[in-house]
Structure 1
């Protein structure tokens, strides 16, 4: 199968890859699995580049210098412009923390190892990833890592191993096996790493080196092309953020892309004609620049949008991305690819190495300067600082990496007062620390704070051993310390419904439907309350702080820097109340049934005029979309005074 000439159907296939990626990133709901376009790109790249390698090795004219010069000519010019533009916009719009992170990403991407950085951070589908304008470069890093090693392997195999194709196939299955074995335990490693993604590129490579055989019957060719198109579209429209990916699911788009490439190489097909229409071919030619530009456009557009990118706005931003992509292709990509600039292999390699070094230094400078906080003044600086806890919350919160459970804090300790109050919960209880400090100081009652990230204070069969251990130990402390009042605080809805972006990994049981999940939470919470009451303590149930819409908190600084008002930014109260409906009724019913169970509701203090505000009186109330900031936590101190006074009077 040695058909490597210009193929319009492959240009169209590039369009079929990039369009779903762009629409998925801009939140166009039918394209919930648009991220599989990257997998299609991997197959195309494996096919085309391996074809070039194979031809040149067989002809005895392969040169590593020429090969890497071609890669530099193809990848670096447009990428360099994107990196510069991204840094410039980050300087204008980002907080010091986010700009510092961007500098680190630029440094990693300059060496084509950004996938390793992202592997260690929040997952690809998490809300925090939408503050990373270079997140999409992980796929470039995977490809370039592959093409550092693959030419060496091909030269050795083709020249020195008789049955070298079988060895390539074996490597493919080893990589695929790693992907399957680790998808559950290390999903971020599988998503971002070369070893677990190489099989997709190798699928394309195998197509390029298949021995020439007799052409298949026309109906076989047509059926294969149709099946391939259906497979890719099936993945695009049915996969979503909750799909365990790549895993077994990636087989669908990868084999679909391989089927389209194979059938097109055998002769004309109906699908091939469809992919060869002028609009798709044109889009395919722009696909690299469009892929590079669309995600930074999305991130920065989102940063300056007061209520998130709406569908009509998304259409405008997509058209802008397309326009910038055309300019990038016409005035950056083409001059280098057609050797109008830096025509020699050595000159382009030298220029590429200089660019790599320059971006590595520039990224390091931004990182070492902590994102240049001196860029910001006034409210924008205050909003930026609110993104970091400074009141000791992290000192009083266990995290999964802790080896011991000795991080509990006693707030407002007084030598002559025995502490009989405890706040117990997940990281949302730790966020209440500023309020507890103020209230404790005013009333003169010390408070214990026991919190562990990601662990609700309930009595359940939580599959996470760390949560069971933490909650068991905390309950023992309630008894041992003679605690008389226990306040339970948590991001309650998270464990019932999952994240609002569709991530269900934090559920108590990922197989429950909504009714089962609600029933499970009710049983677990009631059981904990009964246990605490039997230990002789009263229970105070703290209703959930309003969660903000994705990206709202991070927009405060960006909006302030461009002079847009932030006063109306926030989540509609009706949305918040709808999500909280079941838990609010549960809390109220438990309080009505037992005089020793009380409810504290932050809603009246945080929501007014139908909006749960992100900013109140010029201060950000949130550290991120869910956790209170120092100021936001402190503002709620009046809510805890009745609880503390009730203990002081007893």
Structure 2
């Protein structure tokens, strides 16, 4: 492809890519700002291939020289950011989160962080907002591409006459793989090179298209460039985190970026001149450092916010990100790129390898030390400790991989092989264990706890076959033992509506409308209650505990480390009541229709003044965003007392 002068427009295109990414992450508009990464991929594919193809054509391509240049461009600033993340993480993160950060540093040091994050929460999951190195997934994709693509180019140009067609075929193969897998494994489609390679290859094809002497009319280049810009902007405003991505939707930013690069490579267009404005070029020059710094700044700022950041705070943190980017560009990027530091290719490769080894080893040491829990003391340590169950909940909770037909935890008098009370449900039954154990001993009554993670105590269709088999066994046990009281506890809203972040994996009727899902789950709960009542047992329906926002419990320790109070960390009870409205009405109707069906509501205990606080008097009530901690579970003793006393003093509805 013939290029037109100095490509300042590409620097401006980098600015167009990085600005929406930053604003999207800080919640300041651009619902599809994440597509800026796709624009970066096209730019990288174009520039890198231009260099490789030019040197191959001139007969002077060297793998060592190429990788030395890549190391000089990528590793210095990245190493500084990784080190800074570890230092700040040491000061702010809980052992669990610092351990995860150490693991991420180790993976990024070997250019594989995209594989790590693919195996964890999705990119758009709120849990990912507390991973300081999440954004390095795109660097890993590019780094993997830089390892394999030069070898591919050398082989293709040497052994294939029509090598451009082969390159185009690989582009189509990657795009087709992306389309095929997007609904089967969306995380793999998002994070892995084989499904992202087509974006880089779009840029690569621009670089190797033979130049022609035929010139198109000026308006053609203007139109193509303008359409490219509109395509990218449309994607940035019209797409959002619920769009299956990359998939077909990625064509908008990828083809849009390719169109602008192509058109302005032949002729300066209005769009190209706008992109070449000094302000945009300036942002483009620091775009790599800005991309590196902005996400850790967001994560750590979020960690020490009492609640989600307001826009004015976001603006200040973005300003800090820009300042760090300018400093990083001037004092880290430029000295290495201008060969003022580690001037020879041997020195940069050895230095880069040393940095990788040191950082990777440090990350692994932190990971092996479980995040160095001895760093913490006082409130910070107490909050961090609350994130681990110590009372035995996990020993009583069957997980989704368990091959046991049923696990029973017995409390109270040891000699009884028949319980008076049975608590049945998912992990929200298990987190009541401290109260169950304490009340069973206090009232000297035998009680059994039977729980399976992710399985609501209802018959018929559930999330997986293991749940249906488990529930049948528990129902048979209730019939056989003639139990006096059966307590049903679950995260009911999860099975109705999915998670608050839109993840529908646990929703039973994920492909049905909200109304249909409510009707069907209602029928299943009614059937469960009716079948238990036929055995003569009383039924106690435990409402769901109020949920905290994602990352809230980790934030408690971070706030304590910087000396900020966590007393106001929590959610209004109105959020909880709105989500629980249908379940509350259903439970109330069941209780009203049968005096032996009772409703227990933990919300008045957890939210006494209308705020569902994460911590109370310096102790976290929660283990994570939806499970009670040991302390929170202990606070449920008065909630469960009527079950043992046979009273209705805490009936709700």
User: In the aligned structure 2, how far is the partner of 1:641 from the partner of 1:5?
Assistant: 80
- 1:421 correspondence with 2:421: yes
Q: Does 1:174 align with 2:160?
A: no
Stretches of structure 1 that go unaligned for 5 or more consecutive residues are: none
> Within the alignment, does 1:367 sit opposite 2:333 as a pair?
no
Aligned partner of 1:161 in structure 2 is: 160
* Aligned partners of 1:2 and 1:209 also within 8 Å: no
Give the corresponding residue for 1:231.
231
SS in 1 for 2:144: helix
Alignment correspondent of 2:122:
123
The residue number in structure 2 matching 1:47 is 46
Instruction: Find the residue that maps to 1:42 and give its secondary structure.
Output: helix
User: Per-residue deviation at 1:5?
Assistant: 5.8
1:391 aligns with 391
With 195-204 and 448-457 compared, the bigger mean Cα shift is at 448-457
Aligned 1:289-300 pairs, distance under 5 A:
289-300=289-300
Work out the CA distance in 2 between the residues paired with 1:3 and 1:281.
Answer: 18
Q: Equivalents in 1 of 2:315, 2:629: separation in Å?
A: 34
Secondary structure (helix, strand or coil) at the match of 1:451 reads strand
Superposition deviation, residue 230 in structure 1: 2.3
Given that 1:275 and 1:281 are in contact with CA atoms closer than 8 Å, whether structure 2 keeps it comes out as: yes
Aligned residues: 646
Q: Is the 8 A contact 2:102 2:362 kept in 1?
A: yes
Deviation at 1:343, TM superposition (A): 1.6
Task: Say whether 1:193 aligns with 2:195.
Answer: no
Compared CA separation, residues 194 and 474, structure 1 to 2 (3 A): farther
Distance 1:348 1:568, change over 3 A: same
Aligned twin of 1:407 = 407
Matches of residues 313-462 of structure 1 in structure 2 within 5 Å? 313-412=313-412, 414-416=414-416, 418-459=418-459, 461-462=461-462
Match of 2:82 in 1: 83
1:566-585 → structure 2 map (5 Å cutoff)? 566-585=566-585
**Counterparts of 2:534 and 2:234, CA distance in 1:** 55
Q: Distance in 1 between matches of 2:223 and 2:532?
A: 65
User: In structure 2, what is the Cα distance between the partners aligned to 1:142 and 1:42?
Assistant: 9
Please name the residue that 1:96 is paired with.
Answer: 95
Contact 1:241/1:502 (<8 A) preserved: no
Q: Which residue of 2 aligns with 1:562?
A: 562
2:588 aligned partner: 588
User: In the TM superposition, what is the alpha-carbon distance from 1:495 to its structure 2 partner?
Assistant: 2.8
Please give the alpha-carbon distance, in whole angstroms, between the structure 1 residues aligned to 2:476 and 2:8: 70
Q: Decide whether the 8 Å contact of 2:21 with 2:36 is kept in 1.
A: yes
In 1, the alpha carbon distance for the partners of 2:470 and 2:235 equals 40
Deviations 1:328-351 (A, max 9, x none): 111111111111211211111111
**1:11-30 equivalences in 2 (<5 Å):** 11-28=11-28, 30=29
Indicate whether 1:57 and 2:65 are aligned. no
CA gap of 1:184–1:482, structure 2 versus 1, over 3 A, is: farther
Question: Which portions of structure 1, spanning 4 or more consecutive aligned residues, are displaced by more than 4 angstroms?
Answer: none
Secondary structure of residue in 2 paired with 1:640: helix
260-269 or 15-24: which moved more?
Answer: 260-269
- Distance, in Å, in 2 between the alignment partners of 1:106 and 1:355 is 12
Residue 490 (structure 1) shift:
1.6
Q: Which moved more, 1:293-302 or 1:421-430?
A: 421-430
Alignment of 1:487-566 (within 5 A): 487-566=487-566
Aligned to 2:650: none
Distance 1:487 1:261 in 2: 64
Shift of residue 239, structure 1, vs aligned partner: 2.0
- The answer to whether the 8 Å contact 2:463/2:506 transfers is no
RMSD: 2.0
User: TM-score by structure 2 length?
Assistant: 0.95
SS in 2 for 1:343: coil
Tell me the residue number matched to 1:266.
Answer: 266
User: Do the aligned residues in 1 keep the contact of 2:32 with 2:237 (CA within 8 Å)?
Assistant: yes
The change in CA–CA distance for 1:196 and 1:467 in structure 2 (over 3 A counts) is farther
Matched ranges for 1:608-647 at <5 A: 608-646=608-646
8 Å Cα contact 2:406/2:473 also seen in 1: no
Per-residue CA deviations over 1:278-335 (Å, capped at 9, x if unaligned) read 2222111111111100110011101111112111111111111111111111111111
CA distance in 2 between counterparts of 1:91 and 1:319 reads 24
Q: Secondary structure at the match of 2:370?
A: coil
Query: 1:116 and 1:411, CA in 2 relative to 1: closer, same or farther beyond 3 A?
Result: farther
- Shift of residue 444 of structure 1? 2.2
Spell out, residue by residue over 1:182-236, the C-alpha distance to the aligned partner (whole angstroms, 9 max, x if none): 2223222222112222121112111211122333333332332232222222222
